[in-house]
C-alpha cells in the first residue's frame, strides 16, 4: 500500500509560543512529503485524537507524524491500530521546554526533528507479527517443591505440563526433610512440608504428564516450538513444548572441602543434610557408635560466607540448624546443643522461630569463629571457638558436630569438571576461547557442561549465569528473567532459598511460562519489550558469515550453519536489535526499525555550512533510560544548547556504526551515545547493549584516525535514568569539545 | 473507547489492590497472559514506596529504571485499567466471583491535563510534600513526582475549595481543572482479588529512647532516601537537618523497632542491606565521611553477602555489634550521641555523630486497614498464608521483603511479610499465578486493543458526570 503521511503539530504546552508552527508545517509538506500538515491546540485532547482518526478514515492516511510531546507520554492516545504507523516527535520536551522561545536555533532544531520524523515514516512499515503454529505446553524440569508447585499451578490454569524428574520419585529435597520452617502464625514450631498432598495433586492432575527417571537429552528449536527429546531410562521420548521452567534445584556444598571444620576427622562430624536424613528416619545417633548424642555442636556457615568456598550466604542454614537443634532436644531432653554462628539470619516472621529456640535452656547460641576442630582421645570432638559473645574463647566437647553446609545451584559447574572426558559436541567446541568475541565476556559466562537443558543453541547448552552459577539476568527488578527466552528458573537453582520461597518461585515461574506461550502464540515479544510485534528479517544474500550477530545476541536467538551463516529463530527474539547493530553488511531489519530508516533520518537533517558556525551534534540515546532522563530534563525546564539532535534507539546495542559514518559524511560535527551502565552492576535491560556499543565505538575511533578525523568527535556516556540534571552538562560540554576541534572537514562534500 | 460512568461496573478478571511494586507487578504479569486486570491505588500515582527510594541495593541503581519498564508495560497494555486515588469500600463474593465497591476520590484535575505546569505556576498555596516526608513544600496543585503515572497534576483536597485556587482554574488552557469534582462510586467484578497494599515505616516516635522527633539530627532510613535523591528536599545533598551542614560522621541504628517484642517482634528483612546501601552511596559521594553501623546480626542473604563483604573492606565503614540503647544529644552542636554496648568486646561506648539514621522496620498497611473481606491476618497484620482461597496477599502485605522478593511473590502475590524489591517481585508474580488459577475465562483473543476500558492516563476523571 502506498505510504500516505499525515503530519500533525500540537500548539499546546508552550509549543506555539516557542516555535514557528507555520514554518514547521511547510517543511513537513514540502521537504518531508507529508500529504498535509495540520496543527491543533491540544493533540492529546479528544478532539485532537478525533482529528487524526477522521483523517485516517477520510483521507486514508496510513502514517501519522505527531509533533507534540514525548513518545513516553500518553502513548495509548496515539495508537491508531496496527495498520497506522505513528511517530512521536518530542518538540515539547526536546524543543519548546529546553530551548529559548522564538529562537533561531531552537526553530532549526524542531525543523530537523520534523524532517527526521518524516524520513522515518517514509522508510518504515507497520510491524506484522511472526505467525507460527505454536505449542502452549509447558515443560518443567525438576520435581522438587518448586517444580511440583509450578506444574500444579500451570495445570490448574488449564495448560498441559510435562514434568520431568531425574530420580524415580517426586519431591526432591522436600521429601528428605523431617520438618520445615514454621510458615504459619505464630511461627514457632516446625511444620510438615505438605509435600504428600502436593505430590498427590500433581499425580492425579490430568493436565500433567510425569516422566520419572528422565532427563532432557536434547532441546532444539525455539519458544512455542521447542523440540524436546527426553531420555526416559534409556528410551527417547519426543515432546513439542512452548516454554520451559528449570527447577532442577540445588546440591549441598561438598563436605569434602570442609576439612578445616573437621569433616573427615571422625564419622561423628556430619553435614546438616545427613542430620536431616537421620531425623527423618526417626533417630538421632552418633554414627561412630550408634549412641544418642549428649552434646551437639552446630557450626554455621560451613562453606558459605567464605571467600575460599561460597562467598554468598546460603540463606537457609541458620534456620535449618535452629530446627535441627529442636530435633535433638526433642529426642533427648538432656542433650546440650551449641550453635556457633557468624550472624543468625532468621528473616521476617522467622524471628519468632528464632525466639522460640532461644527460650530453650538446653540450646546455647553464640557468635564465634571456629579456631580448631580436633578429635579427642575419647573419640569426642573438641571445637575451639574464639571471638564469642561471652568475651572469651570457649572450648566445647561434642558427641556430634553438624556442619551447616550451604546450597549450590545445580547449574553450577566446578571449573575442573568442565568439559570432562566426554566427547565434545560441536556446540561445545564452538564455545572455546575463540568464540568469546574480541575480548568481551560474550557467552563465556554461561555454564557450559551443566548439561541439564542440553539446548542445541549456538551459544551453549544451558542458561547463562552471572555469578556463582545462578542463571538470572536482572535479579533485583525482574528476578525470573534469564537470557534464554521462555526458559525461566525457579527455586534453589535461581538463588539460595527455603522451601516456602521455592514454592512461591514455582508459582511465579509458572505465570511467566504461561505468559511466554501466550505472547509467542500471537507473535508478540516477552519482557522487556512486551507486546512488540516486530521481528528481525535477514537479507541472507549479502551475509558474509562473519558470525557477529550470532555471537552478540544477548539471548542466544541465532544459531549457525556449518559455514557460520546465521539461522534466525524469531520466536527466541527479544527485539533489542543487537543483531542489527552488529551487522557490518546491514542485512538485519525490522519493519519499523532498521538501518536504512535511521540512515535516512540522519541524511534528512539540514546541515548549515561551516561559516554559519552552527555545529551539529547527533545523539543516539537508549529509549529505556536515557530518553526518560531527557524527558525529565524537559519537565524541569533545564536549558541546553540547540545544536544536538536526538535519535532514540531500542537499546544502544542496536547501534550500527554505519550511522556514525553517515552522520560524519553528512557533515555532522560530533556524535554522542548515551546508554546504561555496563559491566558487573549493569543496568542495560538487554544485559549487554551498552557494553557492545562501547566496544563498537572503539573500532569506529580507529577508523576515524584513518580518515584523519579527531576521535573527540565521538563521545559516549553512561547515564542513569534519574540523572536528568546531567543532561545539559553532557550536551554543552560536548559542544565545547566540538567547537574546539572545529567543523567537520567533510561538511558540504 | 468506552467511558467509565458513575455507578458503572467494570468487568475484570483480577482486581489488584495497591499500586506499589508488588501490585504493579501482579497486574502486569496477569495482563501479559491475556487476562484483564484492574490495578487500584490509593495515592495519585503508582509506584508506592519504591518510588521514594533513591537507589536499590546492591547495584546502587535507581528504582526508576525498572519502574520505567513496568510503566511502559502498563501503557501499552489495553488489558490493564489503572484507578488512582481509589479505595475499596467493600468486597463481597468468593473466588471466581468477587464484586468490589470502589470509591474514586476526586483529583480535581481531569483527563484534559497535559502536565504543562501552568496551574502550578499560577498557584499561590503551598502544602507539605508528603512524598518528601513533609521536609519541603509543593504547590497545592502538584505533579506527584517526575515518574508519576498517570502523568497528571493533582490538587490537595484540603485546598480544592480555597478561593485562591481559582487562579489555577484560570491558568489552565485546557479546561483540566475541576474544583467541584466529587467522589464517585464504581463496582469492579473480578474472579480473583490480589491484595498488595504494601507497608509503611514503623513510627520512629514510638522509639522514645532513640530521640526521633526530639533531636533534629536523628532521622530515619526512609527519610535518608529522600535526602539522597535529586528530587528530595535537599536536591540530593545529604545534610544535617539542624544546620544544613554536610555530614562527616554518620551512624546507622539497626533494628530500630524490629526484632523487639515491645515494637515489631519480627525482622523487617531489608534494613541491614538498606543501611549498607545508604552507607555505600554516602561513601561514594562523600569520600571523607565516616560511617558507623550498630547491629545485632548483619543480615545480607544470598548474593547480598558480596555487598556486605565489600563494605566491610572499606576502611571508613565501622560495624559495631550491639544494639543501641539510647541516643542523647550534645546541646552545644546538636550532635546525636549514640550509646551502645559492643557485644563482642563487652565495651560500652558512646559515640558522638553528626547524624544518626534509625533503620526503622516495615509495618504492613493491612494492620490498620485489613482487606474488607474476611481475611486471616497474623499477629503483626500480615496476611497469613493459606488464605489463598480468598484474597491473595502479595508483597509486604505478606511479610517484610525487598523488591526482588516482592516481584517474585506478586508474580506469586505478597501482602505476606517484610521483603525487599526482588522478593516483592517474586512474590507478586506468584500471586498473579494464584489469581490466574481462579480466572475461569480464557485469555483475550489476540490484538484485542480497544477493550471497553479506559486506561489510566485518560481515566475516570474523564467521565461526564
pLDDT tens digit string along A344-365? 999 999 999 999 999 999 999 9
Task: Based on the fold, state whether residues B377 and B345 are members of the same structural domain.
Answer: no
Per-residue pLDDT tens digits for B29-80: 999 999 999 999 999 999 999 999 999 999 999 999 999 999 999 998 999 9
Q: Which residues of B touch A13 (CB under 8 A)?
A: 114, 116
Comparing C-alpha atoms, which of B85, B71, B219 is closest to residue B148? B71
Q: What is the CATH number of the domain that holds B223?
A: 3.50.50.60
Comparing C-alpha atoms, which of A24, A53, A36, A40 is closest to residue A116? A24
Q: What is the pLDDT of residue B374?
A: 79
Q: Does the pLDDT at position A120 exceed 70? A: yes
Per the prediction, chain A carries an average pLDDT of 93
Task: Based on the fold, state whether residues B396 and B446 are members of the same structural domain.
Answer: yes
SS3 call for A560: strand
Task: Based on the fold, state whether residues B324 and B424 are members of the same structural domain.
Answer: no
User: What percent of chain A has pLDDT above 70?
Assistant: 95
Where do we find the cell 531500542? Answer: A650
Question: Taking CA B312 as the corner, what is the angle to CA B235 and CA A302, rounded to the nearest 5 degrees?
Answer: 135
Mean pLDDT of A72-85: 92
Domains A138-249+410-521 and A260-402 agree in fold: yes
Task: Based on the fold, state whether residues B353 and B233 are members of the same structural domain.
Answer: yes
Residue B68 at interface with chain A, using a CB cutoff of 8 Å = yes
Residue B173 lies in a domain: no
Q: Do A720 and B405 touch (CB under 8 A)?
A: no
Of B62, B433, B446, the CB nearest to A510: B433
Residue B425 at interface with chain A, using a CB cutoff of 8 Å = yes
To the nearest whole angstrom, how far is the Cα of A204 from the nearest Cα of chain B? 17
Task: Based on the fold, state whether residues B14 and B67 are members of the same structural domain.
Answer: yes
Contact in structure between B337 and B327 (CB atoms under 8 Å): yes
Task: Based on the fold, state whether residues B71 and B101 are members of the same structural domain.
Answer: yes
Q: Give the whole-angstrom CA distance, residue A255 versus residue B137.
A: 59
Residue B161 lies in a domain: no
Task: Based on the fold, state whether residues B229 and B188 are members of the same structural domain.
Answer: no
Q: What is the pLDDT of residue A703?
A: 84
10 Å Cβ neighbour count for A321? 28
Q: Which residues of B touch A718 (CB under 8 A)?
A: none
Domain finish residue from B360, B391, B424 = B360
Lowest mean pLDDT among A199-213, A302-316, A427-441: A427-441
Residue B446 at interface with chain A, using a CB cutoff of 8 Å = yes
Mutate to test the interface with B, among A148, A474, A508, A530 (most CBs of B within 10 A): A508
Domain finish residue from B300, B325, B360 = B360
Q: What is the pLDDT of residue A447?
A: 55
Q: Which residue of B has its CA nearest to A346?
A: B267
Q: Do A508 and B174 touch (CB under 8 A)?
A: no
Dihedral class, residue B246 (left if φ above 0, else alpha if ψ from -120 to 50, else beta): beta
Q: Which residues of A touch B434 (CB under 8 A)?
A: 153, 507
Q: Do A185 and B378 touch (CB under 8 A)?
A: yes
Per-residue pLDDT tens digits for A600-641: 999 999 999 988 899 999 999 999 999 999 999 999 999 999
User: What percent of chain B has pLDDT above 90?
Assistant: 75
User: What percent of chain B has pLDDT above 70?
Assistant: 88
Which domain covers residue B18, as residue numbers?
Answer: 1-105+183-202+362-465
Per-residue pLDDT tens digits for A696-709: 998 898 888 888 89
Contact in structure between B75 and A78 (CB atoms under 8 Å): no
Contact in structure between B326 and B209 (CB atoms under 8 Å): yes
A327, containing H or E segment: helix A317-331
SS3 call for B152: coil
Q: Which residue of B has its CA nearest to A388?
A: B344
Q: Do A479 and B299 touch (CB under 8 A)?
A: no
Domain spans, chain A: 1-126, 138-249+410-521, 260-402
Task: Based on the fold, state whether residues B226 and B305 are members of the same structural domain.
Answer: yes
CA distances from A714 to A175, A710, A724, B298 (A): 60, 8, 21, 46
Contact in structure between A180 and A190 (CB atoms under 8 Å): yes
Question: Which CATH number applies to A138-249+410-521?
Answer: 3.50.50.60
| Residue B2: pLDDT band with limits 50, 70, 90 | very low
> For residue A183, how far is the Cα from the chain centroid?
30
Q: Which residue of B has its CA nearest to A74?
A: B457
Residue B434 lies in a domain: yes
Task: Based on the fold, state whether residues B48 and B189 are members of the same structural domain.
Answer: yes
Q: Give the whole-angstrom CA distance, residue B233 versus residue B222.
A: 13
Q: Do B61 and A683 touch (CB under 8 A)?
A: yes
Question: Taking CA A119 as the corner, what is the angle to CA A113 and CA A122, rounded to the nearest 5 degrees?
Answer: 140
Q: Give the whole-angstrom CA distance, residue B138 versus residue B131.
A: 10
Per-residue pLDDT tens digits for B343-375: 777 788 899 999 999 999 999 999 999 988 878
Q: Do B174 and A343 touch (CB under 8 A)?
A: no
Cis peptide before A670 (omega within 30 of 0): no
Residue spans of alpha helices (H) in B32-81: 63-75
Q: Give the whole-angstrom CA distance, residue B380 versus residue A632.
A: 40
Q: Does the pLDDT at position B403 exceed 90? A: no
Task: Based on the fold, state whether residues B192 and B287 are members of the same structural domain.
Answer: no
Q: Give the whole-angstrom CA distance, residue A298 versus residue A402.
A: 5
Residue B62 lies in a domain: yes
Q: Take residue A36 and report the three cell numbers written for it.
A: 498535509
Per-residue pLDDT tens digits for A573-584: 999 999 999 999
Report the number of distinct structural domains present in chain B: 2
Instruction: Note the residue count of chain A.
Output: 749
Q: Give the whole-angstrom CA distance, residue A136 versus residue A154.
A: 11
Mean pLDDT of A676-705: 91
Q: What is the pLDDT of residue A427?
A: 35
Of A347, A479, A506, the CB nearest to B267: A347
To the nearest whole angstrom, how far is the Cα of A680 from the nearest Cα of chain B? 9
What's the DSSP call for residue A588?
E
Strand partners, A302: A405
Q: Which residues of B touch A387 (CB under 8 A)?
A: 344
Q: Do B411 and A511 touch (CB under 8 A)?
A: yes
Pick the residue with more confidence: A266 or A448? A266
Residue B409 at interface with chain A, using a CB cutoff of 8 Å = yes
Q: Do B407 and A312 touch (CB under 8 A)?
A: no
Where do we find the cell 509458572? Answer: A510
Pick the residue with more confidence: A134 or A444? A134
To the nearest whole angstrom, how far is the Cα of A258 from the nearest Cα of chain B? 20
Pick the residue with more confidence: A724 or A448? A724
Count the alpha carbons within 13 Å of A168 in the hemisphere toward its beta carbon. 1
Residue B430 at interface with chain A, using a CB cutoff of 8 Å = yes
Where do we find the cell 562501547? Answer: A694
Residue contacts between A and B (CB atoms, under 8 Å): 292
Q: Which residue of A has its CA nearest to B433?
A: A511
Comparing C-alpha atoms, which of B149, B3, B131, B34 is closest to residue B82? B149
Q: Which residue of A has its CA nearest to B401?
A: A348
Q: Is B47 exposed, middle or buried (0-12, 13-18, 19+ CB in 10 A)?
A: buried
Q: Which residues of B touch A153 (CB under 8 A)?
A: 433-434, 437
Q: Does the pLDDT at position B461 exceed 60? A: no
Q: Do B378 and A74 touch (CB under 8 A)?
A: no
Lowest mean pLDDT among A262-276, A418-432, A474-488: A418-432
Mutate to test the interface with A, among B25, B273, B433, B447 (most CBs of A within 10 A): B433
Where do we find the cell 565434545? Answer: A424
Task: Based on the fold, state whether residues B212 and B353 are members of the same structural domain.
Answer: yes
Where do we find the cell 523497632? Answer: B257
Q: What is the pLDDT of residue B437?
A: 83
Mutate to test the interface with B, among A477, A510, A574, A729 (most CBs of B within 10 A): A477
Beta strands per DSSP E along B150-276: 154-155, 184-190, 192-195, 199-201, 218-220, 249-256
Q: Give the whole-angstrom CA distance, residue A646 versus residue B134.
A: 37
Q: Do A477 and B421 touch (CB under 8 A)?
A: yes
pTM: 0.94
Q: Does the pLDDT at position A164 exceed 60? A: yes
B395 Cβ neighbours under 8 A, 6+ residues apart: B18, B20, B21, B22, B23, B196, B198, B401, B406, B409, B410, B413, B414, B415, B416, B419, B424, B427, B428, B431
Domain A260-402: state its class. Answer: alpha beta
Q: Give the whole-angstrom CA distance, residue B247 versus residue A270.
A: 50
Of B69, B299, B431, the CB nearest to A347: B299
Question: Which CATH number applies to A1-126?
Answer: 3.40.50.920
Residue B400 lies in a domain: yes
Dihedral class, residue A452 (left if φ above 0, else alpha if ψ from -120 to 50, else beta): alpha
Residue B15 at interface with chain A, using a CB cutoff of 8 Å = no
Task: Based on the fold, state whether residues B287 and B321 are members of the same structural domain.
Answer: yes
Of A158, A345, A352, the CB nearest to B301: A345
Comparing C-alpha atoms, which of A293, A198, A327, A306 is closest to residue A253? A306
Q: Which residue of B has its CA nearest to A47?
A: B112
| Residue A135: pLDDT band with limits 50, 70, 90 | very high
Q: Which residues of A touch B407 (CB under 8 A)?
A: 477-480
Comparing C-alpha atoms, which of B258, B261, B262, B286 is closest to residue B274? B258
Q: Does the pLDDT at position A724 exceed 80? A: yes
Q: Does the pLDDT at position A418 exceed 50? A: no
Per-residue pLDDT tens digits for A279-289: 999 889 999 99
Of B58, B399, B443, the CB nearest to A348: B399
Contact in structure between A346 and A353 (CB atoms under 8 Å): yes
DSSP string, A158-194: T--EEEE-SSSSS-GGGGG-S-B---STT--S-B---
Q: What is the pLDDT of residue A448?
A: 60
Q: Do B146 and A495 touch (CB under 8 A)?
A: no
Contact in structure between B429 and B422 (CB atoms under 8 Å): no
Amino acid at each position: 500500500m502506498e505510504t500516505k503521511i499525515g503530519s500533525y503539530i500540537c500548539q499546546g504546552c508552550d509549543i506555539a509560543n516557542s516555535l514557528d508552527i507555520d514554518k514547521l508545517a511547510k517543511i513537513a509538506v514540502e521537504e518531508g512529503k507529508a500529504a498535509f500538515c495540520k496543527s491543533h491546540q491540544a493533540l492529546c485532547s479528544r478532539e485532537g485524537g478525533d482529528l487524526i482518526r477522521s483523517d485516517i478514515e477520510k483521507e486514508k492516511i496510513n502514517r501519522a507524524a505527531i509533533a507534540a510531546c514525548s513518545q513516553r507520554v500518553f502513548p495509548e492516545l496515539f495508537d491508531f491500530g496496527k495498520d497506522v504507523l505513528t511517530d512521536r516527535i518530542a518538540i515539547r520536551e526536546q524543543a519548546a521546554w529546553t530551548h529559548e522561545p522564538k529562537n533561531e536555533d531552537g526553530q532549526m532544531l524542531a525543523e530537523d526533528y520534523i524532517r527526521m520524523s518524516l524520513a522515518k515514516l517514509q522508510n518504515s512499515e507497520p510491524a506484522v507479527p511472526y505467525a507460527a503454529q505454536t505449542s502452549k505446553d509447558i515443560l518443567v524440569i525438576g520435581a522438587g517443591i518448586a517444580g511440583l508447585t509450578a506444574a500444579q499451578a500451570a495445570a490448574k490454569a488449564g495448560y498441559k505440563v510435562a514434568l520431568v524428574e531425574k530420580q524415580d520419585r517426586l519431591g526432591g529435597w522436600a521429601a528428605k526433610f523431617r520438618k520445615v520452617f514454621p510458615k504459619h502464625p505464630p511461627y514457632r514450631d516446625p511444620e510438615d512440608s505438605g509435600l504428600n498432598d502436593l505430590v498427590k495433586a500433581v499425580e492425579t492432575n490430568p493436565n500433567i504428564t510425569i516422566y520419572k527417571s528422565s532427563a532432557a537429552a536434547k532441546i532444539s528449536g525455539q519458544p512455542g516450538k521447542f523440540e524436546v527429546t527426553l531420555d526416559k531410562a534409556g528410551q527417547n521420548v519426543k515432546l513439542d513444548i512452548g516454554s520451559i521452567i528449570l527447577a532442577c534445584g540445588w546440591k549441598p556444598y561438598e563436605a569434602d572441602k570442609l576439612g578445616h571444620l573437621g569433616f573427615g576427622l571422625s564419622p561423628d562430624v556430619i553435614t546438616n543434610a545427613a542430620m536431616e536424613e537421620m531425623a527423618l528416619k526417626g533417630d538421632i545417633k552418633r554414627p561412630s557408635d550408634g549412641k544418642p548424642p549428649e552434646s551437639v555442636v552446630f557450626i554455621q556457615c560451613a562453606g558459605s560466607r567464605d571467600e575460599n568456598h561460597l562467598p554468598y550466604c546460603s540463606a537457609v542454614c541458620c534456620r535449618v540448624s535452629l530446627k535441627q537443634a529442636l530435633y535433638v532436644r526433642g529426642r533427648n531432653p538432656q542433650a546440650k546443643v551449641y550453635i556457633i554462628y557468624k550472624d543468625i539470619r532468621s528473616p521476617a516472621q522467622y524471628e519468632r522461630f528464632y525466639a522460640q529456640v532461644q527460650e530453650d535452656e538446653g540450646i546455647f547460641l553464640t557468635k564465634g569463629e571456629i579456631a580448631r576442630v580436633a578429635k579427642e582421645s575419647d573419640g569426642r570432638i573438641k571445637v575451639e571457638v574464639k571471638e564469642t559473645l561471652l568475651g572469651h574463647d570457649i572450648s566445647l566437647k561434642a558427641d556430634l558436630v553438624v556442619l551447616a553446609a550451604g546450597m549450590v545451584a545445580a547449574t553450577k559447574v566446578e571449573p575442573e569438571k568442565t568439559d570432562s572426558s566426554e566427547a565434545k559436541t560441536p556446540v561445545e567446541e564452538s564455545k572455546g576461547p575463540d568464540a568469546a568475541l574480541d575480548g568481551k565476556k560474550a557467552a563465556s559466562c554461561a555454564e557450559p557442561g551443566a548439561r541439564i537443558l542440553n539446548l542445541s543453541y549456538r551459544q551453549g547448552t544451558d542458561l547463562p549465569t552471572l555469578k556463582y552459577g545462578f542463571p538470572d539476568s536482572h535479579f533485583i527488578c525482574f528476578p525470573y528473567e534469564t537470557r534464554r527466552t521462555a526458559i525461566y528458573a525457579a527455586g534453589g537453582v535461581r538463588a539460595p532459598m527455603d522451601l516456602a520461597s521455592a514454592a512461591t518461585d514455582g508459582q511465579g515461574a509458572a505465570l511467566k511460562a504461561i505468559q511466554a506461550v501466550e505472547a509467542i502464540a500471537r507473535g508478540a515479544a516477552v519482557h522487556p519489550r512486551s507486546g512488540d510485534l516486530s521481528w528481525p528479517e535477514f537479507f541472507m544474500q549479502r551475509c558474509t558469515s562473519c558470525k557477529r550477530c550470532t555471537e552478540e545476541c544477548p539471548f542466544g536467538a541465532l544459531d549457525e550453519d556449518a559455514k557460520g551463516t546465521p539461522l534466525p529463530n524469531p520466536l527466541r527474539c527479544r527485539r533489542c536489535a543487537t543483531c542489527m547493530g552488529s551487522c557490518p553488511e546491514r542485512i538485519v531489519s525490522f519493519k519499523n526499525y532498521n538501518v536504512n530508516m535511521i540512515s535516512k533520518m540522519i541524511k534528512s537533517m539540514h546541515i548549515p555550512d561551516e561559516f554559519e558556525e552552527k555545529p551539529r551534534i547527533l545523539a543516539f540515546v537508549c529509549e529505556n533510560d536515557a530518553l526518560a532522563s531527557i524527558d525529565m530534563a524537559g519537565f524541569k525546564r533545564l536549558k541546553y544548547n540547540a545544536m544536538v539532535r536526538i535519535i532514540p534507539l531500542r537499546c544502544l546495542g542496536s547501534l550500527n556504526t554505519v550511522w556514525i559514518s553517515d552522520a560524519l559524511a553528512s557533515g555532522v560535527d560530533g556524535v554522542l551515545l548515551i546508554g546504561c551502565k555496563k559491566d558487573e552492576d549493569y543496568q542495560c535491560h538487554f544485559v549487554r547493549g551498552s557494553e557492545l556499543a562501547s566496544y563498537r565505538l572503539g573500532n569506529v575511533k580507529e577508523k576515524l584516525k584513518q580518515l584523519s578525523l579527531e576521535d573527540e568527535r565521538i563521545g559516549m556516556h553512561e547515564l542513569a535514568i534519574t540523572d536528568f540534571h546531567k543532561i545539559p552538562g553532557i550536551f554543552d560540554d560536548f559542544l565545547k569539545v566540538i567547537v574546539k576541534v572545529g567543523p567537520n572537514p567533510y561538511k558540504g562534500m | 473507547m468506552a467511558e467509565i460512568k458513575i455507578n458503572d461496573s467494570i468487568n475484570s478478571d483480577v482486581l489488584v489492590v495497591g499500586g506499589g511494586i508488588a501490585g504493579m507487578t501482579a497486574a502486569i504479569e496477569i495482563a501479559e497472559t491475556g487476562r484483564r486486570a484492574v490495578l487500584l491505588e490509593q495515592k495519585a500515582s503508582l509506584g508506592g514506596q519504591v518510588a521514594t527510594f533513591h537507589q536499590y541495593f546492591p547495584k546502587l541503581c535507581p528504582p526508576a529504571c525498572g519502574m520505567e519498564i513496568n510503566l511502559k508495560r502498563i501503557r501499552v497494555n489495553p488489558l490493564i485499567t489503572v484507578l488512582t486515588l481509589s479505595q475499596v469500600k467493600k468486597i463481597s463474593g468468593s473466588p471466581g466471583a468477587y464484586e468490589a465497591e470502589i470509591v474514586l476520590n476526586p483529583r480535581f484535575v481531569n483527563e484534559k491535563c497535559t502536565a504543562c505546569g501552568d496551574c502550578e505556576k499560577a498557584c499561590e498555596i503551598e502544602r507539605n510534600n508528603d512524598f518528601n516526608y513533609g521536609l519541603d513544600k509543593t504547590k497545592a496543585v502538584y505533579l506527584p513526582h517526575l515518574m508519576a503515572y498517570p502523568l497528571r497534576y493533582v490538587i490537595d483536597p484540603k485546598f480544592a475549595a480555597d478561593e485562591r485556587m481559582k487562579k489555577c482554574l484560570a491558568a489552565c488552557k485546557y479546561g483540566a481543572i475541576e474544583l467541584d469534582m466529587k467522589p464517585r462510586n464504581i463496582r469492579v467484578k473480578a474472579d480473583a482479588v490480589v491484595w498488595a497494599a504494601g507497608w509503611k515505616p514503623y513510627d520512629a516516635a514510638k522509639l522514645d529512647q532513640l530521640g526521633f522527633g526530639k533531636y533534629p539530627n536523628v532521622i530515619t532510613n526512609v527519610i535518608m532516601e529522600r535526602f539522597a535523591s535529586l528530587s528530595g528536599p535537599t536536591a540530593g545533598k545529604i545534610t544535617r537537618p539542624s544546620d544544613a551542614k554536610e555530614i562527616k560522621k554518620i551512624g546507622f541504628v539497626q533494628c530500630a523497632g524490629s526484632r523487639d517484642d515491645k515494637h515489631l517482634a519480627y525482622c523487617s528483612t531489608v534494613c541491614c542491606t538498606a543501611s549498607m546501601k545508604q552507607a555505600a552511596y554516602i561513601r561514594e559521594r562523600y569520600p571523607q565521611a565516616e560511617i558507623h553501623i550498630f547491629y545485632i546480626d548483619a543480615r545480607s542473604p544470598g548474593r547480598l553477602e558480596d555487598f556486605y563483604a565489600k563494605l566491610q573492606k572499606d576502611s571508613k565503614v565501622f560495624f559495631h555489634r550491639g544494639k543501641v540503647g539510647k541516643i542523647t544529644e550534645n546541646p552545644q552542636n546538636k550532635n546525636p550521641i549514640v550509646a551502645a554496648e559492643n557485644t563482642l568486646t563487652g565495651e560500652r561506648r558512646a559515640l558522638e555523630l553528626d547524624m544518626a539514621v534509625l533503620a526503622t522496620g516495615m509495618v504492613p498497611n493491612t494492620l490498620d486497614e485489613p482487606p474488607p473481606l474476611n481475611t486471616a491476618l497474623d499477629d503483626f497484620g500480615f496476611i497469613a498464608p493459606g488464605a489463598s482461597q480468598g484474597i491473595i496477599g502479595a508483597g509486604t502485605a505478606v511479610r517484610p521483603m525487598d523488591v526482588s522478593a516482592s516481584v517474585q511473590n506478586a508474580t506469586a502475590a505478597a501482602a505476606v511479610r517484610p521483603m525487599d524489591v526482588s522478593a516483592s517481585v517474586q512474590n507478586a508474580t506468584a500471586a498473579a499465578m494464584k489469581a490466574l488459577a481462579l480466572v475461569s475465562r480464557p485469555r483475550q483473543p489476540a490484538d484485542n486493543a480497544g477493550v471497553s476500558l479506559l486506561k489510566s492516563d485518560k481515566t475516570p476523571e474523564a467521565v461526564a458526570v
